[in-house]
Structure 1
Amino acid sequence: MSGARTPGTRPADREVSRVRILRAAAEIAAESGYEGTTISKVTKRSGLPASSVYWFFRDKDHLIAEVIRHGFEQWISSQPRWERDPRDERPLAEGLRAILSRSVRSLPQTPDFLRIGQMLLLEAREVEPEARQYFLATRDEVASSIAAWFTSYFDAGLRARRPELARDLAHIVLAATDGLLFAHQIDDALDPDEFVEVVVAIVEQAVTSD
């Protein structure tokens, strides 16, 4: 950005500074929400000057959007993939149970980007922040992956009769995990295995009812 001082000459140094800013902004936004996040708070917590922040990010909205992007990329790399090996002959229920059993156990350690994204979804503004748009796009990306995974289990007849089913099931999975995410903020005694069995039962019922 013109007029801003570069936070280092080597690419490695610049990346270290960028990540420090992203982590500081993520912590503040998770604590104080979008409105409560300011560049001055980010500079104080990161220990870097405002010129460094503006070197990487054009404004607060761009910064929060990048917080979500950075957090999502880190989080998704640690999650089980919604990709079915063609050689996998497990029934749908067993495959779904295996994926959810791994993924729901990461929710108690909720990544900051998920908290921030959920807050943005619940806040209405005349001008939709770039960060909110990006979070919605990441959710749509995940929903598409889950829907494709469900579709891989459907025969041609089911796909033709109920073309919307896979997408509907993907939304059910996302809605259920959203609920579990909120529930963990209230009661950390929830049994993840029971949650998984409920979701699997709902999916099985939806697929077999015609």
Structure 2
Amino acid sequence: MFDFLPVVRRSRARIRYEDQVREQYDRVSAYSQLLASSSSYSPLISSRTILIHRKFEFGESRKKVIDVLGRPGHSIHSPNPVTAAILVYRYRLEDYRIRDEIHFSAHGLFYVRRNFSSVTTLRHADLLRAYSEKYLGGSPFHGVKQKIVDTGGREILPTLAPAIIMNYVATSHPAFRQIADHARGASSRYADPHDLQRDSALHDWL
């Protein structure tokens, strides 16, 4: 008689989560900390190409990603003027629970936020060691104020607290040029208060 109730609860939970993601990225400035970290972190150069997945890379279309990964758990459309969509996938790999947020602009995939939840201190060290072995030939990688960069300018920027997050970015992607343009536009227009009300780009930034 009440078999439909769990489905209703899941649907409401799905909507709440998607609303949270949409609110988190409802401004172009949501990416500003990512760009600040990219500018300030020390680069560790990798001779190996940074790939988000062995079957696709930066610039891929949503269709290609869905063809490879299947239907996403969540899909958020056009939360801000740069981001055309965010697809969210959850899965388990060994002892890790992983959530991928895959961000697309009109020019394709430009950013992945890979969240490793419930990671113990021991597994934390194992994870950083795995990144070191894959991309740095085993060279030390503690992840604090460090980023892995390949010869094509693709980057992995860790955020280690409160959760372990690996941010995969291609700062040369057109989306990040748009984001940087928004930032510069907002900064320059603050100097002239008469421009604040009439400029739509600044409105998108705030």
TM-score by length of 1: 0.28
- Give the strand-richer structure, 1 or 2: 2
- Give the helix-richer structure, 1 or 2: 1
